Amino acid sequence: MADSTGSVVTIVSEERTPESSLFDHVERVTHARGERFAVLLNLSKLSPHHRRPHHIRIAARTFDSLLNTRDVQLYVLGNGDIALMCKDIPVDDVDYMIDKLRMLFRNDPLAARTRSGDVEFTSWYDFESEFDIFFELTQARAEAANKIAAQSEDASAGRGIGAGFAGQPLDPYSLAKIDDSLLRLPIGELMREQPAVIVGADGTEDILFQEQFVSISDLQRRLAPGFNLVSNPWLFQHLTETIDKRVLAAMARAGLGDDSGPISVNLNVKSVLSKDFQRFDDALTQHSGKIVIEMQQIDVFSDVENFTLARNWLRDRGYRVLLDGLNPLALQYFNPGLLDADFYKVAWGTEFVEAETTEIHTETGALVEKVGPERFILGRTDSEEAMSWALTLGVRRFQGFFIDQVVERKAEKMLQARLDGRA
Amino acid sequence: MALSPEDETYQPASQESLLLDYVHRLESHMEGRRAVHVHLSELASDNRRDHHIRIASSTFEPLVKLLEGQLFALKNSDLFFIYKGDSQNDVETSILKLQFLFGDDPLFEGESGDTHSESNAFRTYYDVERNYADILQLVRGLVMDAQESETGGEEAVEAKTEFVVREERGEALTPRVLGRVEDALQRADLSNMVRRQFVCALIGEAAPQPLFSELFISIQDLRETLMPGVNLTRSRWLFQHLTETLDRRVLAMLSKSTDRSITGEISVNLNISTLLSPEFMAFDDAVIAAMRGSIVIELQKVDIFADLNDYMFARDFAKERGYRICIDGLTHETLAFVDREKLGADMVKMIWNSDIIDNVGAKRAKRLIKLAGASKVIFCRCDEEAAVDFGQEIGVNMFQGRYIENLIAEESRRRDMEMARRRTQNLDLLEEGDGE
């Protein structure tokens, strides 16, 4: 991997791991503990979203001025943690820099949560009293790191298909090849569906629509093993345009049964304005009332003017329009109501609840109220907690793994009831 | 108008000649027939791209399918629909839909909403029986126009429109072409493609005061050199990727050049991903700390909304180190989405478009600018005086664009002349002194 955490500020060319360099340093000062202390910044405990290589790189840079003027050494460890070895320097000076760093990560629960307690974001070791603890800790880390370094060589042979979206970053040439193979691939095999539901006052849920989508992880496995299709947002966006073409053609061919329930389809604004969509529209026009078109925030913002045109036109033809790709953070920064969509899908994540102040929650609630709670759908609902968060905002429409289970259980129950009835 | 490749190789009979043929045949059974001429060619150019025309045409499709009428899509973007009189209500509904679709076009400004009169700026209705001679003459004219534009008409085309046409056609930027271009970029000498354009304060009639200059790579030069014939604007996302590569080259160039480029207050356009990259760290090292305050980093709105988390992280980092942040690429339509203060940006740049005068109006525009913070808004791509006039009227006083560059040039000419005049005056005085 070209840009893994290990390659950040640490010295890759050296055979040694940063962990063992740190341990060397600790060993060296065994007999000169006076006026020394160490701070461990537990950046590995940040949410994955906040500990990508560039975050760690910049976190390390925050300490530049200390490194230049004081007797401080910095180690970036393989897991993203940063260790500072300090000598003859007021604790407050270090603390000041850490506060700045914490500000940088204030949207992360780790930094937000432990504002006063400060137990998780950093760990401090005064060498006068806690040297032994730090010694053992760094020793253990060094050993573990050496083991991993030795192991990854053997494992690499079979790595190929990364879990989730691991893999080599996508480049234009590989994208071109994937584009080509996409044109030959029967896209139907990669189409999946996931229900969005509306929860009634009595707690029962009805299907709002079934989202039809191409599984990107399957696509990656089939067409580009070893590559990470979402590594670059712009190349990925381009890929979705190719996917749109195939999906539109496939759906136009397959049509929609008269007894089919409402569905949703993900499209780029450009695709909605294309000839491919015209053909789709020709084939499915009598079903347009059951079709929701989902468009991504990033795409819509890149060309609001054409989005407006597409939205008006779609609506005129009877389709409904959904703005996808929002998150609670986005809601703090702009009013999606200005885009006048029929639905807004907000993706949920624990980090938002944990970092959310009551003030922000109230603000979000007011915005939802203003735009209309009936227009909001909570996406990525993966737990009961997610659902209750949204319910407090008046949101009653949901989609996500948790909903999948609920819907499945309900279907099973109905099936069982029918079987029982027959028995 | 951009045509898809398949259209370009295949040359069917023109819609105009088909229409003429149809009108001729109509002569013997024109009873109860009506026609409508939809003047899409009168719409602002932004509103009559291929997809607009396609969508407009599709509005008539149901009637065509019911054999109620025949549609002709003309070369100049106009539509001509000939139909049976009993469909009049359906046709009027279709026209209304179109009017709604293009509702923001200046063409409808000042329209009284009168939907019944036979003719208005957007469409003209005809009773075929009554107006047959007029229709025939009109259609003949259309055929002639179409032929002319096919052959010798090009001479009359202004340089500007020619550029637009070229821009709209051209080979699309495909991933493979992008790969090749990015490879070439690694070796290309970009120094002669660097352009500099000033952002100026313009208060009243006073001479323009340069605030900072934007350093950028001329995309036109780049295209001419590395990818002639490739249309960059047709693939937004791949172009965005290309800018990431450009960013790195620009930063490398700026880090190295100590003399020429980094002088005075400057701004550079960067992607957020670049701001967080090792290349930016190297640039940051090369810049003297005191200089950072005089560097403005321009970020694109699409980049910001792509990942707000990353934006805030990058912004905090950059501001902490002393750089100033400007959000670029806004239009009067998108300005309202950007809460400048909340996003913690020092400035925002709005692309000038004269549409704002008619479509938004001074009153609403003024409110829009006030919300963003009048002293923080820059009007960019100002090609005409109207940009400055209107901007000043609504409280904007920072401008950038070709018109501003001209003002600067004029001002320096004026100053040169003034200097020369004074010099001669001084000489005169000296001579007078000598004479005594």
Domains of chain A by residue range: 5-158, 168-422
Q: What's the confidence (pLDDT) of residue A8?
A: 33
* Least confident window among A18-32, B140-154, B221-235, B363-377: B140-154
**DSSP-derived 3-state class of residue A320:** strand
Q: Is the pLDDT confidence value at B112 over 60?
A: no
Is A297 near chain B, with CB under 8 Å? yes
- Please tell me which of the candidates B52, B176, B312 has its beta carbon nearest to residue A173: B176
CB contact under 8 A, B306 and A329: no
Is B368 near chain A, with CB under 8 Å? no
Residues B1, B5, B9: CA angle, nearest 5 degrees: 100
* Least confident window among A125-139, A144-158, A256-270, A390-404: A144-158
List all residues of chain A from 323 to 342 with a beta carbon under 8 Å from chain B. Answer: 327, 329-330, 332-335, 338
Give, to the nearest 10 degrees, the angle between helix A275-284 and helix A233-254: 30
Where exactly does CATH 3.20.20.450 map onto chain B?
163-418
Per-chain mean pLDDT for chain B? 82
* Least confident window among A200-214, A253-267, A293-307, B149-163: B149-163
Q: Is the pLDDT confidence value at A331 over 90?
A: no
pLDDT in tens, B339-350: 999 999 999 999
CB atoms within 10 A of CB A225: 12
Q: Which CATH superfamily is domain A168-422 in?
A: EAL domain (3.20.20.450)
CA distances to A102, A108, B317, B406 from B410, in Å:
51, 53, 40, 6
How confident is the model over A367-388, as a mean pLDDT? 91
CA distances to A75, B10, B314 from A351, in Å:
27, 56, 19
Euclidean distance between CA atoms A325 and B306, whole angstroms: 9
Phi-psi region of A327 (alpha: psi -120 to 50; beta: other; left: phi over 0): beta
Looking at per-residue confidence, does B105 or A199 come out higher?
A: A199
The CATH class given to the A5-158 domain equals: alpha beta
pLDDT band for A166, please (50, 70, 90 cuts): low
Which long-range contacts link B138-141 to residues 24+ away (Cβ below 8 Å)? B138/B37, B139/B16, B139/B19, B139/B20, B139/B23, B139/B80, B140/B20
Burial class, A116, CB count within 10 angstroms (exposed 0-12 / middle 13-18 / buried 19+): exposed
Is A12 near chain B, with CB under 8 Å? no
Cα dihedral sign for B136, B141, B146, B151?
Answer: positive
For B307, nearest residue in chain A (alpha carbons): A298
Give me the phi and psi of B308, to 5 degrees please.
-60, -35
Contact call for residues B349 and B327 (beta carbons, < 8 A)? yes
Residues A351, A355, A356: CA angle, nearest 5 degrees: 110
Q: What's the confidence (pLDDT) of residue B368?
A: 93
| B85: its two tokens | 């009189």
Q: What's the confidence (pLDDT) of residue A412?
A: 81
Contact call for residues B84 and B32 (beta carbons, < 8 A)? yes
Output the CATH code of domain B163-418.
3.20.20.450
CB contact under 8 A, A312 and B101: yes
Q: Is the pLDDT confidence value at A200 over 50?
A: yes
